[in-house]
Amino acid sequence: MASRSSCHAIKHDVFISFRGTDVRKGLLSHLRKELRRRQIDVYVDERLERGDEILPSLLRAIEESQISLIIFSKDYASSKCCLEELAKIIDCKQTNKQIVLSVFFNVDPSDVRNQQGDYGDAFAQHEEKLKDNGKVQRWRSALRKAGRLSGFHYPTNFEDESDLIDKIVEDIAEKLSKFYPSETYGLVAIDQHIEKIQSLLMRESNEVMLVGLWGMGGIGEDKDYVISQLDAWGFHGASGIEVLQKKALITISNDNRIQMHDLIRQMGCEIVRQESIKYPGRRSRLWDSEEVYDVLRHNLGTDEVEAMKIDLSQFTDLPLRVDTLKNMPGLRFLKLYYPLHIELSMPPSRVKAMLLVLGL
């Protein structure tokens, strides 16, 4: 991943600074889930009990993040550790041009900026207990600067927490896209195809929607094709690829193709198999031809299924009904493998009929 400065390589998309168990179990838990669903890498201090001294690992995590998100809550300023995080974040903004976003969660931005209300009370206690007045002034300065940043003011500007989370995630994704530009530049007419796919998704619908991606077998997928498909589904494709590469789960070849070691692939397959050893229809992914056949033939799919691969070269017939996929409302990805270079056991007329049943 590219480095923002000569000193620190970027390892995280977002560092989140927060205070309190209520924030952790409420807003933060839902926000993290949505960010991770979008394949955005998030760093959060997992310690339930946070002391007054900030850990060096937290300072490094701030330096190694593209974006810092500060959740200013009622008790934020009472934590010396949070104030140290804040001061470090403001330093990174000034020296490394780090993007800083503020969430004023049930607090007034002016209280943060001017250390009034609960923030004023917290600083009165800090000044009483600490002999190092320079540290307190550094915290005050950081709060003044952060309080002047445009941010998300809840509940003033949002209907509910869900609306707040949606806006935060969209803003973060948009800002990250500038660091991970689209890899489809230079591919002739690819944008029109992507727009057509996006128009078919109908994300606001609660119905089961399928989009078939039809192409020649054996070509493989480079980095440019995978990213475009992930982006079309609303995932942060480039960021997700970077995360997998950083964790050494995939490699990128010289000709820009994504590669995965067989052992890692087998391990991933086994993890999915363990989700439900006896009942494949209760797994998140289906790819084994025999299991796919049984699930479709006997209508054994469930809402746990998110992705499925159908290799038409393995079937002599695949009886399907119109309601076959209704038991799989969570299905987001369906891959049909239809090799053009070999003769299929299934007659072309039957393939066409099956596609019509699937709505493709």
Give the CA angle between residues 224, 229, 233 to the nearest 5°. 145
What are the residues whose beta carbons fall under 8 Å from the beta carbon of 77, sequence distance 6 or more?
83, 112, 115, 118, 119, 122, 123, 143
Catalytic residues: 85
* Secondary structure of residue 258 in the 3-state scheme: strand
DSSP string, 160-198: SHHHHHHHHHHHHHHHHHTTS--TTTTSTTHHHHHHHHH
Spell out where the chain has E strands: 12-17, 42-43, 65-72, 99-105, 151-154, 251-252, 258-259, 285-286, 307-311, 333-337
- Answer yes or no: are the C-beta atoms of 308 and 334 closer than 8 Å: yes
25 is written with which tokens?
Answer: 């179990």
Q: Both tokens of residue 85?
A: 């995080």
* Residue 155: both structure tokens together: 């509940």
String of DSSP letters for 219-256: ---BHHHHHHHHHHTTS-HHHHHHHHHHTTS-EE-TTS
First to last CA, the chain: 38
Which residues have a Cβ under 8 Å from the Cβ of 19 and sit 6 or more positions away? 71, 73, 75, 76, 78, 79, 82
> Could you say which DSSP state residue 218 is in?
T
